[in-house]
Amino acid sequence: MSTPTVRPDDCPEAPGFRANLQTLILHEACAIAGGVSQLADRLRVSPVALARWLDGEEDAPDEVYQTCIDMVLQHEDPPKA
């Protein structure tokens, strides 16, 4: 059983009532990438746009969402010490 990814300080929590599958995937990708800035760089988008998607204010474009899905599916937690 894998342990949850440690959430970097600048990755916000998923928006409670606006959380849907897309926002949850984006939040997990944020944690995997190491933060909002790192994920924005990896996705080649502005941190401002990414923040709107993370907050559930807007849906991310399909290609961004697919990249985040791929990140989550390919991520492996480090082995426990």
Write out pLDDT tens, residues 16-36: 666 789 999 999 999 999 999
Q: Comparing 18-22, 38-42, 47-51, 61-65, which segment has the lowest mean pLDDT?
A: 18-22
Q: Tell me which residue has tokens 């897309």.
A: 22
pTM, rounded to two decimals: 0.78
| Degrees to nearest 5, angle at CA 11 with 9 and 12 | 105
